[in-house]
Amino acid sequence: MSDQDELRYKKLQMNNGRSIPALGFGTLIPDLGETSRATRAALEAGFRQFDCAERYRNEEAVGEAIQGVLREGGIERDALFIATKLWNNHHRPERVGPACEASLARLGLEYLDLYLIHTPFAFHPGDNQDPRDQNGNLLYDHDVTLLDTWRALESLVDDGKCRAIGLSDITLNELRPLYDAARIKPAVVQVEAHPYLPETELLGFCKEKSIVFLAFAPLGHGMKPGLLEDPVISAIAVRVGKTPAQVLLAWAVQRGTALLTTPRSEAQARENFGISALPEDALDQINRIQTRHRLNPVVSTGVPGFIPQGS
Ligand SMILES: NC(=O)c1ccc[n+]([C@@H]2O[C@H](COP(=O)([O-])OP(=O)(O)OC[C@H]3O[C@@H](n4cnc5c(N)ncnc54)[C@H](OP(=O)(O)O)[C@@H]3O)[C@@H](O)[C@H]2O)c1
């Protein structure tokens, strides 16, 4: 296997004895038809790790694409790594099992490779994903703790519904006590990370505790101006004969994280899967970038930054 193949097929060991492909496809795509098409294109390009969420309201469209490919043969369920996430209105322990079952049914799966608590913020329990008072303020639920919710996820592992559990949009200060109290330790932590938000301290903690750090928005959510047009990234891309997107994705994998990217077209899917290793001096140059910019405020509010309000 060449160096190029090694990077694109790299897997990270999880603390449950299983592994996760480093290159992952994120399904945060508002249009349902586009979700199915992009998911299929990602499978055909070589992606085997998929990130879904109840909150994206498109698990059925993702499931449709995955089921189609499984039915046609050639790819087995065991070769895929499929994750989805519990949304904030289901944090009460009695709501966790039914929420997981509902996600499994929408995806057409019998088990999940990974189930994540989408954010540490509990919202008012009920069917409304975005519960608000008359003044438009979010209704948080202060009668359930993150550990209560975690205990319910641990039961799902015991029952074989999911093989690994983890957390998303969490800070190191919130992660430490949860980690200490957990019977089943988090296998994966999913947060925004890219050269403008390297999250070095959190990454260090995850490496020390054998937690896989799963970076979302590795291309800076495709925003321009932004990372894709950063002069350091562009210059490296020219030097190594790769695109800025490929440089950013290779950097993420080479620093020891898994990642989630969202190519929208077949061409972007092939491009984003077609990474190869960068030389050490290029990695150093990227690590020296001083710009700092968080794109998604979800970590401080529980409100997703990339989903249109009201949906
Ligand atoms: N836990 C959380 O709260 C959370 C929050 C956000 C995201 N996520 C997950 O992380 C995934 C990835 O996040 P993200 O969508 O921000 O990832 P990203 O890969 O940084 O950005 C995706 C956007 O970049 C553009 N793009 C993709 N490939 C490109 C390429 N080769 N060249 C140029 N532009 C390219 C596309 O925009 P155009 O269509 O404009 O080209 C696409 O919409 C999501 O799908 C979701 O699964 C999780």
Q: Is the CB of 260 under 6 A from ligand 1?
A: yes
Task: Determine the 3-state secondary structure of 24 from DSSP.
Answer: strand
DSSP assignment of 179-199, as one string? HHH-SSPPSEEEEE-BTTB--
Tell me: pLDDT of 72 over 70.
Answer: yes
Q: In the 8-state DSSP scheme, what is residue 227?
A: G
- Closest atom of ligand 1 relative to the 246 alpha carbon: 31
Q: Which pLDDT belongs to residue 305? A: 85
Output the CA angle 131-132-137, nearest 5 degrees. 140
* Tokens (6 digits) for 68: 């189609």
Q: Which pLDDT belongs to residue 87? A: 98
**Residues assigned a catalytic role:** 56
Q: Which pLDDT belongs to residue 2? A: 61
Candidates 101, 118, 117, 83; CA nearest to 159 is 101
Kindly state the average pLDDT of the residues 75-98: 98
Banded pLDDT at 211 (limits 50, 70, 90): very high
- Closest atom of ligand 1 relative to the 28 alpha carbon: 45
Tell me: pLDDT of 118 over 60.
Answer: yes
Q: Which pLDDT belongs to residue 148? A: 98
Q: Is the CB of 305 under 6 A from ligand 1?
A: no
Residue nearest to atom 11 of ligand 1 (CA): 26
Residue nearest to atom 39 of ligand 1 (CA): 264
Kindly state the average pLDDT of the residues 6-16: 97
Q: Is the CB of 272 under 6 A from ligand 1?
A: yes
Amino acid at 226: G
Rounded distance from Cα 105 to ligand 1 centre (Å): 25
Q: Is the CB of 261 under 6 A from ligand 1?
A: yes
Residues 6+ apart with CB under 8 A from 85: 51, 52, 53, 54, 55, 115, 116, 117, 118, 168
pTM of the full predicted structure? 0.97
Task: Determine the 3-state secondary structure of 223 from DSSP.
Answer: coil
Pocket test for ligand 1, best of 219, 223, 299 (most atoms within 8 A of CB): 219
Q: In the 8-state DSSP scheme, what is residue 138?
A: B
